[in-house]
Structure 1
């Protein structure tokens, strides 16, 4: 099945060491996305970068604080339901938001 819709994409940038309630921040965000039935959420692990605190984040032998990006796509309404959670859990980072034309493909059961 193919569904086309105008949606919103969030890109959430933070560090690999960031936690929420004892687990990785990216895991907490993905879990919340699943609870809200968000259409798409993917975690990307970067090689090197910096963000809100201007501190270089990288993976090395001495540090495992790589930059992380969580990319999320769904309707405006679904994304709006996620924002209060992000407000509560993201302590340092950047959330970029943009309008997108999305196509969702899914398997239909016969």
Structure 2
């Protein structure tokens, strides 16, 4: 009986960890821009997106207008910039825990 109970608990723990598995990312330099204007994502307006390893994700946790005028010459709707980001990919979106826009390279 004790073995059966232990087996059931182990099975439940394995299922729970599998369901909660989320891709955690370390701090890294990523391309950032407007998902619609620069990365070709389908959306309902200009929204910040992050491109990692060639795949683009809309960002949650920071907004396009938090980083200046999106339609300025160096803004996210006009240019692809670099940022140091930390977060995780969840439900095909990048959940930002930190975001530091790097100076524009000339």
Same fold by TM-score greater than 0.5: no
Structure number with the bigger relative contact order (C-alpha 8 A, sep ≥ 6) is 1
Higher-Rg member (1/2): 2
Q: What TM-score do you get using the length of structure 1 for normalisation?
A: 0.29
Q: What TM-score do you get using the length of structure 2 for normalisation?
A: 0.30
